[in-house]
Structure 1
Amino acid sequence: MPHTLDQQVALATAASRLAADFEGTFGAETIERFLHTSYDQFAGRAAVATFLPLLAERFARQRLTALARVEGLSHDGRPTVLFLCVHNAGRSQMALGFFRYHAGDAAIAWSGGSEPGDQVNPVAVAAMAERGIDISAEYPKPWTDEVVRAADVVVTMGCGDACPVFPGKRYEDWSLDDPAGQGLDAVRPIRDDVERRVLTLLDELQVTVRQP
């Protein structure tokens, strides 16, 4: 997808920020490749092109962080969990929100989808807001090999054979109703089930739950 002049400037600025963040870990060529392939992941389905460089930068930063972990260039010892569903718009986003809320900085969580949607489900956003957790700034994104390989635990939710499988990795499959197309009353029990499962997982990972 051709870049406008504003997008070119924004991508160049993003590349500079990433280069500063990963100085001594990755060179400019790797950073630019990850940034531009991340941009391409969103370019075909982004509703507002203005935000494409920002989304690309955020996703590239996650992917580069994962790659550094996979290649043994950076590892702080914190457990990392990847939540996967089909559209990365409801279940996996709620799980990500609860995990980050309860774990704080003691663990890392990412999310992705086998067929990423256009936006996070507004009803899921509303349901989480009732619990004081804001997931409105999140965005559906695909999973990539380095992100899966960097995770200690991969939690799948309804993506079936489309979910990635790497030998020797811990997998959990959570059977949860899909909140897509459902109202708030129907999504609340799904949300609460997600939280219970997240708290159980954190306990199994021996992560101390952050006190509100």
Structure 2
Amino acid sequence: MVFMKSNVCFSNLKFKEIVMKKSSFVSAALVSAGLAFGGAAFANTAVVSSNITEAEVLKAQKIWGDAVVQISKDFEAGGLEKAKKTTKAALDKTYAYDMGPVLFKPTLAAIPQNIRSTEEGALSYYVGGNKKFPNDSGFALKGWRSVESKNSVIHLNGNTALTMGNVSFTDKNGKVTTVDKTWGYVKDSAGNVKIVLHHSSLPYTN
């Protein structure tokens, strides 16, 4: 609605300004207090903006975990070449290499190749077989049968999301390996939620 009187317009704008300030204050107070917004799979969720949703983040984590299991199964059924094809397709679907470098620091990678920004480096980590990365044995080739993500914190802001928690991998013999995991996600123009940050490490033990 357009108001012709200047004082009416001013009052309307002033009201909006007050509402926005109060809304920002309440949001900041909730985040500062660490209040949980539903869900038992994680401790805290801070929602600054909902362009990317909690459900989309959880779905992206499941897709990634299912891909790791599928790579293991394809390796056992069809060898390294089949596993590589599956991995390449999974990387294209789950990581945002089409948007630029990805911050990729996997669990079992040593200096000076512990931090990688290219899809080639990620592919090598998951399946090995690349002379440029001679220490890679193929993390996804270890007979994984299930992958479960447990988030401690989820932070949603605009078209990005950050999560921190643990991921547990169970192999075909029932052995479970749990790692600390930090993910960063972005929603692209097509609405796909992809990984832009992947940081993983083994928990500290005495």
Give the strand-richer structure, 1 or 2.
2
Query: TM-score, normalised to structure 2's length?
Result: 0.28
Give the helix-richer structure, 1 or 2.
1
Answer with 1 or 2: which has the greater Rg. 2
Query: TM-score, normalised to structure 1's length?
Result: 0.27
